[in-house]
Each structure stands twice: as C-alpha cells, then as structure tokens.
Structure 1
C-alpha cells in the first residue's frame, strides 16, 4: 500500500546552524533521504511555523538535503579535517594543547546568516504561500526531529486534519525516568513531547524494545495505550559500511575512545577516576582517553577536573566537531570503545565500533544488552574497580578480538530497517482510515499531490524521481 508522506523537515531546515550533525540529526536525515528518493512513495516536506504551514515539493526537499550535507561537510576528507590533525598531534606528543578542547571555531553571526541563507536558497522558503490545507489528503505526517513535539502550537493543525495519520519517533523517556541526569528545561521539554505524542500520535517509532517499554509506560499515564508502535534498531550510517585502516601516525599509540554528548548521563566521571589511577600507576605508559562529543549540561563540572591535574590532561583529550570519516579512522585504531552510560535509549556508537571490529566495553543496562553481541564486555556503570581492571587488561593486550562485519550485512540491515519503517507507516495509515470510516468522519475530497509545486512551477509528482544530486 502506497500512502502520501508529509515529512516534518523543521530540524533539517535549521541544520546549518550546527557544524556537524548529532545522532538525532543523522537519523532524521537518513530517513528523509530514503523517503524522498523513492519514486513509488509520494512525499512532501512540511514545516509548521509562526506564519503557518510551509509545504515543500520533493524536488526542493532533495535540494535542501544535498545542501545540508555539504554544509555539514560529512564527506570532508580526513586530509582536510583540521580538527583531526590537531588531535593526532596531541596524541603523538602526549601533551595537552593550550586549550581545554580541540574545538572548531565558533560561527560568527555573519556565518550563521550565510549558512541559513544557503539553505533558504536551496529550499525556496517564503513567508507566504502554502497552508495546512496543502498537506496531501490521507497523508502520514512523520516527525522524527522532535522540535515540533516540544512546541504544541505547531501541532494544532493536526486537529483540523483528522484524515492525516501522525507518526512520531521518541528515542527514550530518560529525562522523565531519571531527571537528575538532565537539566530542568530538558525534563520540561521532554514532558511536553510525551504529552504531544499522547494527544496526537497514531503511530510511534522507537529504537529498542527496552525503550518501547519505558515510552509506552509514560504514554499510558496519559491514557494512551492504543498507539501502534514499532521497535526497530537504528541502521549503521553508510560511512561505517566499509573497513578502515588505523592512522599510521598513531601506530604504537594506545588509546580508548568514548563518544557522545559530554553530560552526567554518559558517566565520563567514572572514566576520569579510572584514568587518575592509570596515570598514577603507569605514568607515561598509561593509555590515552579520547573524549569525542559536544559540551552539554554540566559539562563544565566534568571537564573542569582536567584543570586540576596536569598528569591527567596529558592523557585525556577532548575533541568536538570531528567529521564522520575522521571519527571512523579514530575508532579503527582504538584499543576499544568505552560507553559507561547510566542510561541510554539505544547506543549507536556501540554499533558503529562493532561494525569496524573494534572491541566494546559498555555499561550493563537494558539498551546495551539488547544492541550489542556477546563479544562486548558489559560492566556495572557504578563499579569503577571493574572498569579499571578491564581497561588495564585491554591495555596490556588481553582484549577480545573482534572482526569487522561484512559490508553486505550492513547494507542488508539498512534496507531491512527502511523497509520495516515504510511498511509500518502504511499500517498506521490503514488503521487510521479504517477508524475514520467507522466513525463516519469524512476526509476532504482527494486532491492530487500536483497541487504542491516546486520553485519552477513543476508539479511535485512529476519531479518525484531520483535526482543526480540525491543525498546518500
């Protein structure tokens, strides 16, 4: 069954304000790229704004995705990644740089305006024009980016369009279940997202069965137990489909990697305690720890520990803004990926490392148990002694041998993921339309999608085929 898709592009539209994408940005981008490259899947991009609904043709959405990919520099070669070269020099020298982090320069106001102007030029955004009535009849509204979920005003149009089937993605409800790991504003925003989902959603996408249990429990508190839900593990990004050789400049340099936003939930504090012991006992023979991630809530307290310990700073390095190819190269040469998180909804870095054949050491929590195989070492998140002992063993060469997984497996898993999503969207639509029919609620007379036009006035359906500029 082929159903029209109205894909919320709000997060993607504001993507140029970030130098590199976060995990949720990559998920949003990947699903949008898939849907808008399908000739059999009629799609439009939608973005609720203070000036009303904006509706974008498939052609304009694809142009926006291609432009965003360039602005994020996701295909930037390692040779052109200045952050990578700075990190390599720091690891080779064993001395911390003058700055606390290897950071890209911040965007100036002019740079922000220029980057957003580039996106505006690609997508043809205007203040006037389309409204919610331009959303195709009986469409499935897909919201992966969350932004509109935290702003109920932008979802009011759904009340006037009962023929539209809203399907949202919620990765977890960690801010509600463990509020001490997030800021108060984050907890409030997440509560609003759950309330918005409970009010509007006909379908729900989650990443693991453990996340599904916690999310559905939260929705049940709002009286919603009837939402169709699909728990589907996220696919590995394409860049990790192929093997990668370690950087020869780092040959002989022993290091571990932790990847994720720098915040209390990720449990960087445990690793810093372990590295104090390692540097005290092993001196210059201690392995390095590379912390990859953007500073988040209370990151100052976490990273502030490096100020008080020169020996720790010589072995702990923090970098934000690496391109995906550079991250892949860094992981390829690591002794292991460490992920001692207190709570996770999924844990994509674990899958990325395993795909490259890099050993994984992670906290023993439900999400990790679900997504990693039996080669991963799972340890209690609070047991610093166990982590210390395991890291010492791996540093001395007593670590599991992992093999990179075949590229075809990754491609098959990716295809299976998107196929399951598309099937689920159709099932949600069929259920919604059956409910409408049973309640005698009539949809508006069907209007062909050609009513939505691109900047050249060409009907959307006529431009729905693959383009040579399609993102990958």
Structure 2
C-alpha cells in the first residue's frame, strides 16, 4: 500500500537534545515505513512553498542523522548526564545536569540534518501521491495546525490515519499551558474532520478521545487500540551500576511539569529526611523541563538539606536510562493523569519494582505487582517508598505475558488495521 508519512515532528527533532516518548514512537513508525514499505513511501513536510513530498532515500538519511544528534545509543560511560550522577551520589552530593539547547546549537543541529538529507524542493503532494495512499500522522504537530492539512481537501481519495496519544489538556487543562489546550482541541477537530482511522495506546485513552470526538459530532472511527511495545533494550537483563549497589535511590522519569506531580515527591522526601537523616534515599529525576518546569526545579533546589539527596538529569541516552532504572529500588510515577505511562512498563520489564499513581492508565498497563497509591496521598507514598528500603534491592517476578508485544507484532497488527480501513472495516482492538 502506498504510504505518505508526516515527518514534521522528526524534522524538528534537532530542536531537542533528546527525544520525548512521542518522538521515539514517531521514529519507530518512520523507520518501519521507510525501511519496509514495498510500495511508494513519501515523507510529507510543510515548506515555504506548500506541503511537499520527499523520497524515502532522503527520509532515511535524515532519520540516521537525527538518531546521531539525539545520541540515543550512547553508552553510559560516554553519557554526560550519567557521568554527572554516579560520582555525586557516591560523594553524597546533589547533581543537576540540565544542558540548554541554545540558539546557535539549534541552528548548527538543524543545518546538520539538512546536510544529511540534502536540500531540495520536494514534489507537490497533491500531484505526487498515488490514488488511495494512506497518510499516517503520528507526531501530531500537523494536526494542531489546521492549515497544514488543507491539502487533503484536494485529495479526498487519500485515507488519513492519525495517532492521538491522549486528550489530557482537554480533560485537565489546569496542568498544561493555554497553548497546549488550544493545540489539542485543534488535533481533535482535525481528527473529526479528516480521519479515516485512529490509533490509540490504551483503552483509557480511547474512551477519553472518543468522548471528545462525540462532543464534536464526529462519526465513529475505526480504531486500533494497541499498547506501545517496550524497546528491545529494556527486554535485556538489567545492568545496575555496582558502585551504587549500597546507595538506595528511586527514579522518576518524564517531563518535569505539574502533571507529573514531582512536588508531592519533594514533600515525601522532606518527611523521609526528617525521619532518616543521613540514611535518606536519593531521588533521581530524569526528564526535560515541561510547562512550569522552572518553578518545580526552583522548589527542588531551595528545599534545604533534603536537596542533597535530589538529582535532576536531562539528556540521558536510552542505555544510560536503562542503567539508572536497573539500579533503582523502585520507579516512581505519581502522575495525576496519563494516557499510557511508558516508564511504568519499561521499569517492570527490567524487573524494577514500580510505585504508580492509582489512575486508569496505570491500572491498565501496570505489572501485576505494581504498588498503586492515590496521587494526593502523601502518607501513602511515604509508606510505599519506605517499604523498599530495609531489605535491599528487589526484582519483580518474571512474567512472560506482561508487555510481551514486540514492534514486529505491533506493525503486523497495524498493517492488518490499515487493510481494514482500505476495505471500509470497523474497529479493530
């Protein structure tokens, strides 16, 4: 089947030092289609001269260069964020590795990507795509800017397939910026207007998205509800740093923003420090700054003596993140709301215990041994965290059924779903 893959988010990838979860999913999809599609496969990008289609060869060169810029496969020994963590933790000091992607650096990185792909005008998307092409948009940026989808009006034969990860900004606007609320409303509006099919990651997200579509009077869409596979590196044996074996620490992964509830953990750590003093465990915060991130980091920095036990890291490669999670007493995920919660699955796949907020998405994707605590129950979180301190590190019991889906199986299901869309089929779960 001919594919037109929206590469807008990936083209803007150099704006970030490391990818977010949605970026990693976008990259996996792009790799799949551009490497394995047997028919035409075009990268779709907005340009100054309109939306254009670019050939797969240029797209693949761009993906390779983007992975190099993100240093996704960099080993811990070559990872600045990891190398800033282990020595300071051993010395009983705090570490703050929050590099900035300044204007000159961004310009250099974008230029590097353009050199890899080659500069060209591309082809007119309306004239180039074969009849019945499936247009796939996973990165969502185009969905938030209605102008970028107007070309679909001239090609009603093209079948748009959109992924919506969640509608959190519409469910809980108090935890996001006003711009995010507006952008998400536009995404749902454009899905209602154009989509021939929808991809979601959980039933929880599906129900919320369908409710928003229903509010807009949209027809029921064929929907593929399929969890995201765990990256293969998290299926390999854990590799904790032996030099940190005697130092108890916990890790929380994800953007540093109000929705992730870092400030609850700060209050918990203050209570732990009053009780335990020098025996207080360390808290490793792995993630980039999100909305109100500076406010959260400022509170963490100004937390007195307890700040000695707090470490904030941005830019960890995937192998380094795996090492951090491997050695943690538990991964903590106190979010107020999630559409999926990939760190919960990644940690459990490594055998690292998980304490997660008791919300529907976590209940849906969590390991059977996950400890669930209400996201506003500070005493409950303190008790859960303290329970992992006395006996040393633990491992979750292996479960062959948990999070067993591979990317190969995932894309096989996606291909079947696309064929059903071509045939006018109904929902596939």
Q: TM bucket by the smaller chain? A: over 0.9
Partner of 1:395 in structure 2? 389
Q: Output the CA distance in 2 between the equivalents of 1:367 and 1:321.
A: 26
Partner of 1:351 in structure 2? 345
Match for residue 252 of structure 1 among 242, 246, 251:
246
Partner of 2:266 in structure 1? 272
Larger radius of gyration, structure 1 or 2?
A: 1
Where 1:176 maps in the other structure, the secondary structure is helix
1:128/1:390 Cα in 2 relative to 1: closer, same or farther (>3 Å)? closer
1:303/1:155 Cα in 2 relative to 1: closer, same or farther (>3 Å)? same
Q: Which moved more, 1:212-221 or 1:225-234?
A: 225-234
Per-residue CA shift, 1:97-124, capped at 9, x if unaligned?
5xxx3123x3343332222122112223
Partner of 2:43 in structure 1? 45
Unmatched 5+ stretches in structure 1? 433-472
Q: Output the CA distance in 1 between the equivalents of 2:341 and 2:202.
A: 10
Aligned ranges 1:441-460 → 2 under 5 Å: none
The question of whether the paired residues in 2 share the 8 Å contact of 1:307 and 1:313 is answered with: yes
**Residues 1:71 and 2:77 are matched in the alignment:** no
**Residues 1:417 and 2:415 are matched in the alignment:** no
Aligned ranges 1:220-239 → 2 under 5 Å: 220-239=214-233
Offset of residue 404 of structure 1:
5.2
Q: Output the CA distance in 1 between the equivalents of 2:98 and 2:315.
A: 7
The question of whether the paired residues in 1 share the 8 Å contact of 2:41 and 2:56 is answered with: yes
The question of whether the paired residues in 1 share the 8 Å contact of 2:54 and 2:122 is answered with: no
Unmatched 5+ stretches in structure 2? none
Per-residue CA shift, 1:309-331, capped at 9, x if unaligned?
32111111111111111000000
Offset of residue 422 of structure 1:
1.5
The question of whether the paired residues in 2 share the 8 Å contact of 1:356 and 1:405 is answered with: no
The question of whether the paired residues in 2 share the 8 Å contact of 1:74 and 1:324 is answered with: yes
* RMSD, aligned CA: 1.9
Per-residue CA shift, 1:174-225, capped at 9, x if unaligned?
1001111111111111111111111111111110001100000000111113
| Normalised TM-score (structure 2) | 0.95
Residues matched between the structures, number? 425
**Residues 1:218 and 2:187 are matched in the alignment:** no
Q: Output the CA distance in 2 between the equivalents of 1:418 and 1:215.
A: 22
Offset of residue 292 of structure 1:
0.8
Offset of residue 125 of structure 1:
3.7
Q: Which runs of 4+ in 1 moved over 4 A?
A: 408-412
Partner of 2:256 in structure 1? 262
Q: Output the CA distance in 1 between the equivalents of 2:170 and 2:304.
A: 38
The question of whether the paired residues in 2 share the 8 Å contact of 1:54 and 1:130 is answered with: yes
Partner of 1:190 in structure 2? 184
1:204/1:373 Cα in 2 relative to 1: closer, same or farther (>3 Å)? same
The question of whether the paired residues in 2 share the 8 Å contact of 1:241 and 1:410 is answered with: no
Match for residue 94 of structure 1 among 92, 95, 114:
92
Offset of residue 239 of structure 1:
2.3
Q: Output the CA distance in 1 between the equivalents of 2:329 and 2:286.
A: 15
Offset of residue 50 of structure 1:
3.6
Q: Output the CA distance in 2 between the equivalents of 1:5 and 1:399.
A: 47
Where 1:394 maps in the other structure, the secondary structure is coil
1:350/1:207 Cα in 2 relative to 1: closer, same or farther (>3 Å)? same
Offset of residue 259 of structure 1:
0.3
Where 2:387 maps in the other structure, the secondary structure is helix
**Residues 1:301 and 2:295 are matched in the alignment:** yes
The question of whether the paired residues in 2 share the 8 Å contact of 1:356 and 1:403 is answered with: no
Match for residue 316 of structure 2 among 322, 326, 333:
322
Where 1:168 maps in the other structure, the secondary structure is strand
Q: Output the CA distance in 1 between the equivalents of 2:29 and 2:39.
A: 13
Where 2:239 maps in the other structure, the secondary structure is coil
The question of whether the paired residues in 2 share the 8 Å contact of 1:5 and 1:139 is answered with: yes
The question of whether the paired residues in 2 share the 8 Å contact of 1:6 and 1:136 is answered with: no
Where 1:249 maps in the other structure, the secondary structure is helix
1:202/1:319 Cα in 2 relative to 1: closer, same or farther (>3 Å)? same
The question of whether the paired residues in 1 share the 8 Å contact of 2:230 and 2:405 is answered with: no
Q: Output the CA distance in 1 between the equivalents of 2:126 and 2:399.
A: 45
Q: Output the CA distance in 1 between the equivalents of 2:23 and 2:30.
A: 11
Partner of 2:3 in structure 1? 5
Q: Which moved more, 1:39-48 or 1:59-68?
A: 39-48
1:66/1:411 Cα in 2 relative to 1: closer, same or farther (>3 Å)? farther
